[in-house]
Amino acid sequence: MMDESHLKILRLVHQAKHKAGSANLRKGLNILRRKDLDIMGLIARIIADGVAAGEFRPVDPMETVSFIYALFDGLVRPRFWQRGTLELSDEELSEKVFAFIYESISGRRGRTAERA
């Protein structure tokens, strides 16, 4: 979601919003939707497997995926609108996001707190 090519597509979609949608644009959006649903399903399966293994506390996998997507959307939106962003390197941001998500669903509280 943070990849510049993804943001470019979002900008094009936003610009084309008021124009008649072309068949190619609709086809591209459908591909993005399908890929996005595939990714959501994959993440939900990872969460469900983690819950089953006791690694994660009991959570609804798709609800958790929705919250993770909301977090990512909140990180992507400032870049899309080209306004202030967090002053973190990609590596630092990735580490903090991972720690935040993992601590939120971990069945072993406090495990990554020292890393955050």
Residue 45 φ then ψ, to 5°: -65, -40
Structural domain spans, the chain = 4-115
Residue 59 phi, psi (nearest 5): -140, 160
Residue 75: count of CB within 10 angstroms of its CB: 16
Rounded CA separation 116/113 (Å): 5
Report the pLDDT value the prediction gives residue 52, as an integer from 0 to 100.
96
- Selected from 2.20.230, 1.10.357, 2.60.40, 1.10.10, the CATH number assigned to the domain covering 4-115 reads 1.10.357
Backbone dihedral region for residue 96 (phi beyond 0: left; psi -120 to 50: alpha; all else: beta)? alpha
Q: Give pLDDT tens digits for 14-56.
A: 666 555 567 767 777 788 888 889 999 999 999 999 999 999 9
